[in-house]
Structure 1
Amino acid sequence: MALTSIPWDPASPVEVRELLAEVGVPWWLAGGFAVELALGRSLREHGDIDVLVLRRDQLAVREALRGWELWAADPPGVLRPWRSGEVLPAGVCDVWCRPAADQPWRIQVVLDESDGDCWVSRRNPRVRRDVRSIGRTGSDGIPYLAPEILQFYKAKDARPKDEVDFAALLPLLGADQRRWLAGAIRDTFGDHPWLARIG
């Protein structure tokens, strides 16, 4: 059986918080679960759960998941074991995690870039923010990416679920968030159908 055909049983946000409680580095939920934390309500089903971590902090997260099976997604999408102590290079942005070989995938760790105190988008190094400004804290003290950053990541090759998330989050964005989002999308993707709706 191919590793990518193994089913997912996403950990809940609370489970992720408990697993990473002592990690000592910042992390944020991303993707659909983060959208729901921003909204304060359920929106749709989820195939996985994404946890964004700065690349510089990857080994701390690896240590927090000690004993789990961790598989790095080498471009163009081949899963291979993430060896203990190995520093994953730029270009390896996703790690699939499960408690044991006979269990489903539970968490997807997403590695993003940084430069000093700045978060730097892996999609466009000109898109950056102070690390302290990229997150929010939701229910139960669970950190998640700011809504405008969630929207920026969902703008690339938007799928139907991304359109649902975009429509749900857009009313939450203030004028400064909309300006940032429009600028980031325009600079990264050029003309984009969401720009007219962002205003």
Structure 2
Amino acid sequence: MSPLDDEAWEAWSPHELGQRLREATLPWYVAGGWALDIWHGKQTREHEDLEFVVIRNDADHFRAILHELEFFTVKDGTTEYLPPAANLPSDVWQLWGGDMRHGCWRVDMMMEPGTPDLWIYKRDRAIQMARSDAVRVSETGIPYLAPINVMLFKAKHCRKKDQIDFNFLRPRLSLEEKEQLTTWLNELHPGHEWIKKLPIS
């Protein structure tokens, strides 16, 4: 099966995904810009996709629940079909879910290390915290990644939309959150422009 065009996104909203995953028994959460908007309680900008994250060993559980989609592996710029009965390749950490009937992508399923109780930053596994601290739940029951954890991911590339997200959330961060994000940035991205914009006193 051939993949859809990379730009053929008509992503579900977090609510639409949450409805489909309401029977899920394993951890998952919304990530990226949508996670920030769940935290803000409103949509602050357009989102081209919908990223959600599962523990790597749980991927088949979510593939089975989202059986209306066809999944494709995404690695090094290449997208390849992954049949429902096929095992997840050991070097793949990202799947796109395609709604082939409507000709569009619906979700970007990211995978991470860790356990149901422990969140591990996949780009540097020395950064770990209780999953209950890393993942919050909205009033409508949607799990989402905490804002400073989202920004840790966004700091690496710091695209225009990442800067917009940072500017919008910075005034709402607590002192403790600013301190933690500053610590992470100093460790992984010393000299990052956001550090001087996070006064912690």
The two structures have a TM-score, normalised by structure 1, of 0.91
Tell me which residue corresponds to 2:6.
5
Contact conserved, 1:123 with 1:188, CA < 8 A, in 2?
no
Percent identity over the alignment is: 27
Bigger share in helix = 1
Long gaps (5+) in structure 2: none
List aligned pairs for 1:33-182, cutoff 5 A: 33-74=34-75, 76-83=76-83, 84-89=85-90, 91-100=91-100, 102-114=102-114, 117-182=117-182
Tell me which residue corresponds to 1:194.
194
Contact conserved, 1:154 with 1:162, CA < 8 A, in 2?
yes
Contact conserved, 2:14 with 2:34, CA < 8 A, in 1?
yes
Distance in structure 1 (CA, Å) of the matches to 2:149 and 2:92: 20
Distance in structure 2 (CA, Å) of the matches to 1:104 and 1:30: 20
Distance in structure 2 (CA, Å) of the matches to 1:28 and 1:77: 24
Aligned length: 197
The farther-off stretch of 42-51 and 65-74 is 65-74
Tell me which residue corresponds to 1:24.
25
Distance in structure 2 (CA, Å) of the matches to 1:180 and 1:60: 33
The amino acid across from 2:26 in the alignment is: V
* CA gap 1:139/1:9 in 2 versus in 1, 3 angstroms: farther
Distance in structure 2 (CA, Å) of the matches to 1:159 and 1:189: 15
The amino acid across from 1:14 in the alignment is: H
Long gaps (5+) in structure 1: none
Give the deviation of 1:85 after TM superposition.
4.7
Q: 1:56-105: CA deviations, max 9, x gaps?
A: 2211111111242100112x12111223251342x422211022265200
Contact conserved, 2:116 with 2:131, CA < 8 A, in 1?
no
The amino acid across from 1:18 in the alignment is: Q
Q: 1:120-161: CA deviations, max 9, x gaps?
A: 111111111111211111242111101110111111111111
RMSD: 1.9
The amino acid across from 1:130 in the alignment is: A
Distance in structure 2 (CA, Å) of the matches to 1:46 and 1:26: 23
Distance in structure 1 (CA, Å) of the matches to 2:86 and 2:26: 17
